A and B are shown apart, each in its own frame.
Chain A
Amino acid sequence: MSLLTIDNLSIALPKGADRDLAVKDVSFTLDRGEILCIVGESGSGKSMSANALMGLLPEGVTPSAGHIQFEGRDLLTLSDDEMMALRGKDISMIFQEPLSALNPLMRIGDQIAEVYEAHNLLTPSERRKRALELLHEVGLPDPETTIRAYPFQLSGGQRQRVVIAMALALEPKILIADEPTTALDVTTQAQILDLIEDLRRNHGMAVLFITHDFGVVADIADRVIVMQHGEVVETGDADTVLLNPTHPYTRALLDAIPRLTFRDSAEQAAQPILSVRDLNMTFTSRTGGFFKKQRVVKAVQNATFDLYQGETIGIVGESGSGKSTLGRCIVRLLNPQSGVVEINGQDISKIRGQELRHHRRRIQMIFQDPYSSLNPRSRIGTILTEGLIAYGTDKATARAKAAELLTLVGLDPSAMSRFPHEFSGGQRQRVGIARALALDPEVIIADEAVSALDVSIQAQVLDLLADLKTRLNLSMIFITHDLRVAAQVCDRIIVMQRGEMVEFGPSAQVLGKPQTAYTQSLLDAIPGKDHEAALAAQGAPA
Chain B
Amino acid sequence: MSAFWSRFCQNRGAVIGLIILTIVIICAVAAPFLFPRSPWSMVQRPFLPPFEMDGLPLGTDALGRDVLSGLFHGARVSLLVGLVSTVVALAIGIPIGALAGYYGGMVDDALMRFTEFFQTIPSFALAIVLLAIFQPTLSYVILAIAIVSWPPVARLVRGEVLSLRNREFVEAATLSGQSNLRIILQQVLPNALPPIIVLASLMVATAILLESSLSFLGLGDPNVMSWGYMIGAARTVLRTAWWLSFIPGLAILLTVLSLNLIGEGLNDALNPRLRKRTS
Q: Which chain A residues have a beta carbon within 8 Å of chain B's beta carbons?
A: 59, 331, 333, 357-358, 360-361, 363-365, 367-369, 372-378, 383, 386-387, 390-391, 432, 435, 438-439
The 4 closest A-B pairs by CB, nearest first: A387-B176, A373-B168, A367-B168, A360-B177
**Nearest chain B residue, comparing its CB with the CB of A16:** B3
B137: Cβ under 8 A from any A Cβ: no
**Nearest chain A residue, comparing its CB with the CB of B189:** A377
Chain B nearest CB: distance from A369 CB in Å? 6
In the assembled complex, the Cα of A331 lies from the Cα of B176 at a distance in Å of 11
Q: List, in ascending order, chain B residues with CB within 8 A of A387's CB.
A: 173, 176-178
- A333, B171: Cβ atoms under 8 Å? yes
- A368, B176: Cβ atoms under 8 Å? no
B:165-185 near A, CB below 8 Å: 167-169, 171-179, 182
Question: Given A357-B177, A363-B175, A390-B182, list of 19 further CB < 8 A pairs?
Answer: A59-B276, A333-B175, A364-B175, A367-B168, A367-B171, A368-B168, A373-B167, A373-B168, A375-B186, A375-B187, A377-B190, A377-B191, A383-B169, A386-B182, A387-B173, A387-B176, A387-B178, A391-B177, A432-B172
Given the known interface contacts A367-B168, A372-B167, the answer about A378 and B186 at a Cβ–Cβ threshold of 8 Å is yes
Chain B nearest CB: distance from A169 CB in Å? 29
**Nearest chain B residue, comparing its CB with the CB of A376:** B191
Chain A nearest CB: distance from B182 CB in Å? 7
In the assembled complex, the Cα of A435 lies from the Cα of B172 at a distance in Å of 9
Contact with A along B202-246 (1 / 0, CB 8 A): 000000000000000000000000000000000000000000000
Q: List, in ascending order, chain A residues with CB within 8 A of B173's CB.
A: 375, 386-387
Q: List, in ascending order, chain A residues with CB within 8 A of B171's CB.
A: 333, 365, 367
- A373, B172: Cβ atoms under 8 Å? yes
Interface of B, secondary structure class, is helix
- B191, A333: Cβ atoms under 8 Å? no
In the assembled complex, the Cα of A333 lies from the Cα of B166 at a distance in Å of 10
In the assembled complex, the Cα of A376 lies from the Cα of B169 at a distance in Å of 9
In the assembled complex, the Cα of A49 lies from the Cα of B147 at a distance in Å of 56
Q: List, in ascending order, chain A residues with CB within 8 A of B177's CB.
A: 357-358, 360-361, 387, 390-391, 439
In the assembled complex, the Cα of A438 lies from the Cα of B177 at a distance in Å of 12
In the assembled complex, the Cα of A364 lies from the Cα of B176 at a distance in Å of 7
Chain A nearest CB: distance from B133 CB in Å? 40
In the assembled complex, the Cα of A368 lies from the Cα of B177 at a distance in Å of 20
- A372, B169: Cβ atoms under 8 Å? yes
Chain B nearest CB: distance from A383 CB in Å? 8
Q: List, in ascending order, chain B residues with CB within 8 A of A375's CB.
A: 169, 173, 186-187, 190-191
In the assembled complex, the Cα of A391 lies from the Cα of B187 at a distance in Å of 17
- A390, B179: Cβ atoms under 8 Å? yes
Q: Count the B residues whose beta carbon is within 8 Å of the partner chain — how many?
A: 19
In the assembled complex, the Cα of A331 lies from the Cα of B276 at a distance in Å of 41
In the assembled complex, the Cα of A340 lies from the Cα of B167 at a distance in Å of 27
Q: List, in ascending order, chain B residues with CB within 8 A of A390's CB.
A: 176-179, 182
The residue that B176 contacts in the complex, of A59, A333, A435, with Cβ under 8 A, is A435
Chain B nearest CB: distance from A238 CB in Å? 37
In the assembled complex, the Cα of A358 lies from the Cα of B175 at a distance in Å of 10
In the assembled complex, the Cα of A372 lies from the Cα of B166 at a distance in Å of 10
Q: Which chain B residues have a beta carbon within 8 Å of chain A's beta carbons?
A: 167-169, 171-179, 182, 186-187, 190-191, 276-277
**Nearest chain B residue, comparing its CB with the CB of A435:** B172
Q: List, in ascending order, chain B residues with CB within 8 A of A365's CB.
A: 171-172, 175
Q: List, in ascending order, chain A residues with CB within 8 A of B277's CB.
A: 59
- A369, B168: Cβ atoms under 8 Å? yes
In the assembled complex, the Cα of A377 lies from the Cα of B191 at a distance in Å of 7
Return 6 A-B CB contacts under 8 Å, by A number. A59-B277, A331-B175, A364-B175, A365-B172, A378-B187, A438-B176
- B176, A386: Cβ atoms under 8 Å? yes
**Nearest chain A residue, comparing its CB with the CB of B277:** A59
In the assembled complex, the Cα of A369 lies from the Cα of B166 at a distance in Å of 13
In the assembled complex, the Cα of A249 lies from the Cα of B190 at a distance in Å of 41
Chain A nearest CB: distance from B186 CB in Å? 7
Q: List, in ascending order, chain B residues with CB within 8 A of A391's CB.
A: 177
Q: List, in ascending order, chain A residues with CB within 8 A of B169's CB.
A: 372-375, 383
Chain B nearest CB: distance from A444 CB in Å? 11
Q: List, in ascending order, chain B residues with CB within 8 A of A357's CB.
A: 177, 179
Given the known interface contacts A368-B168, A374-B169, the answer about A360 and B176 at a Cβ–Cβ threshold of 8 Å is yes
**Nearest chain A residue, comparing its CB with the CB of B173:** A386
Given the known interface contacts A357-B179, A360-B177, A364-B175, the answer about A386 and B186 at a Cβ–Cβ threshold of 8 Å is yes
- B178, A386: Cβ atoms under 8 Å? yes
Chain B nearest CB: distance from A426 CB in Å? 17
Chain A nearest CB: distance from B269 CB in Å? 16
**Nearest chain B residue, comparing its CB with the CB of A438:** B176
- A360, B175: Cβ atoms under 8 Å? yes
Q: List, in ascending order, chain A residues with CB within 8 A of B175's CB.
A: 331, 333, 360, 363-365
Q: List, in ascending order, chain A residues with CB within 8 A of B191's CB.
A: 375-377
**Nearest chain B residue, comparing its CB with the CB of A59:** B276
In the assembled complex, the Cα of A228 lies from the Cα of B172 at a distance in Å of 34
**Nearest chain B residue, comparing its CB with the CB of A382:** B186
Chain A nearest CB: distance from B78 CB in Å? 33
Q: List, in ascending order, chain B residues with CB within 8 A of A361's CB.
A: 176-177
- B176, A367: Cβ atoms under 8 Å? no
Chain B nearest CB: distance from A269 CB in Å? 25
In the assembled complex, the Cα of A373 lies from the Cα of B167 at a distance in Å of 7
Chain B nearest CB: distance from A287 CB in Å? 13
In the assembled complex, the Cα of A331 lies from the Cα of B191 at a distance in Å of 25
In the assembled complex, the Cα of A377 lies from the Cα of B193 at a distance in Å of 11
Question: Interface centre among B168, B190, B276, by most A CB within 10 Å?
Answer: B168
**Nearest chain A residue, comparing its CB with the CB of B187:** A375
In the assembled complex, the Cα of A369 lies from the Cα of B277 at a distance in Å of 28
Q: List, in ascending order, chain A residues with CB within 8 A of B186's CB.
A: 375, 378, 386
Q: List, in ascending order, chain B residues with CB within 8 A of A367's CB.
A: 168, 171-172
Q: List, in ascending order, chain A residues with CB within 8 A of B190's CB.
A: 375, 377-378
Chain A nearest CB: distance from B226 CB in Å? 39
Question: Interface centre among B168, B172, B176, B179, by most A CB within 10 Å?
Answer: B176
In the assembled complex, the Cα of A373 lies from the Cα of B175 at a distance in Å of 12
Chain A nearest CB: distance from B154 CB in Å? 22
In the assembled complex, the Cα of A81 lies from the Cα of B186 at a distance in Å of 51
Q: List, in ascending order, chain B residues with CB within 8 A of A378's CB.
A: 186-187, 190
In the assembled complex, the Cα of A360 lies from the Cα of B171 at a distance in Å of 12
Q: List, in ascending order, chain B residues with CB within 8 A of A59's CB.
A: 276-277
Chain A nearest CB: distance from B208 CB in Å? 31
In the assembled complex, the Cα of A439 lies from the Cα of B176 at a distance in Å of 7
**Nearest chain A residue, comparing its CB with the CB of B170:** A375
**Nearest chain A residue, comparing its CB with the CB of B105:** A286
Q: List, in ascending order, chain B residues with CB within 8 A of A363's CB.
A: 175
Chain A nearest CB: distance from B240 CB in Å? 57
Chain B nearest CB: distance from A439 CB in Å? 6
Chain B nearest CB: distance from A72 CB in Å? 35
